[in-house]
Copies of this chain bind each other. A is one copy, B any other.
């Protein structure tokens, strides 16, 4: 008999269709209310509420109460990374889905992963940052390189800002099957992309769509 961390408990939390739908919805990065999540999951409000308390108890969600609204969000990037990893396996072993539609294609190119950018663009960006020695990766770890502070300061991003969360983290991309950049730096870069209006979020989707000029600007800064 095995011991150690109770992985079955965590996996079974994700293993219910209603809860899996809720978690997928929360992968967009915005906190949602119980009613919104009930709608996403296709269950009644009482059922949703019961699922949410289970997810809370399991430590997968955080709760922010604001008046009579209660906003549920993913507990952190580690949880997001886990969902992403499970999604990757589901995609790989699942029955080949119907021919990928346009939204799928957009998702593969760029999408939100909790609070940072994922997809081909994000993977390419991390590769390039490592090539240029701005970031350094040891096996699974990613650290700041010597020129990181000045490089990101030019973009208005302060990598020195103290934070509980690690500045850099690797997050496995389900569509490309390679890592992209998570952590506070990943979040700050996504913020910048949206703030500069290089790209906008697709309605009701995790897809992130770059405008032609925005794409040029992004590539100039991160893929040059």
Contact = CB atoms under 8 A, between A and B. Distances in A.
Interface of A is mostly: helix
A156 interface: no
A90 B21 contact: no
Interface of A: 1-17, 19-21, 23-25, 40-42, 58-60, 75, 78-79, 81-94, 97, 172, 174, 177
Contacts of A25: 2
Contacts of A16: 8, 12
B10 A12 contact: no
Contacts of A91: 4-5
Contact of A88 (B82, B86, B90): B82
A58 B11 CA distance: 15
A92 B76 CA distance: 11
